[in-house]
Structure 1
Amino acid sequence: MWSWIDEPAGTIRARAFAPAMNIPEDEATGSAVTQLTAQLTRDLLVVQGAGSHLHTTWHPPTHATVGGRVLPAEPRTITI
């Protein structure tokens, strides 16, 4: 899931849930944000999880890279 924090600046808030892989929430999903970057065809700052900041760069026509800063998070339970 994702939503714009600041669309002109390219800042997004995202969360990734993968219960089928026994991962209630992934705190920093680089593979997902590179795909989002490719779909939106622009550089992004993605704030994810409890404080991870992922910076992506769009490399047309088909590539994106990711880097950033991530923080470990304590386990938690989420009921949906």
Structure 2
Amino acid sequence: MFADLNRYAATMHFVGQRTIFSLNGDRATGEAYCIAHHLTMDGEKRRMMVAYLRYLDAFVKIDGAWLFAERLLYVDWLEERGLS
């Protein structure tokens, strides 16, 4: 998925609301919302694709640090815009 981002001239991701669903010892689960902006350029023509995403995460604590054990990406909807 991340290699696919190289096709854009620029990207910007705003990660907002985060909720922790469960916390059991050294394991946790949660959800985060994200709005991702992806700029494409074709000569002078610019377009913006905006993706509204949710991440469902599993975390594990190893040596005192919380790490991602798994991240599932869900696309709620996409929007395409022409830019001036």
* Same fold at TM > 0.5: no
What's the TM-score, normalizing by structure 2?
0.35
Identify the structure with the greater strand proportion.
Answer: 2
- The structure with the larger Rg is 2
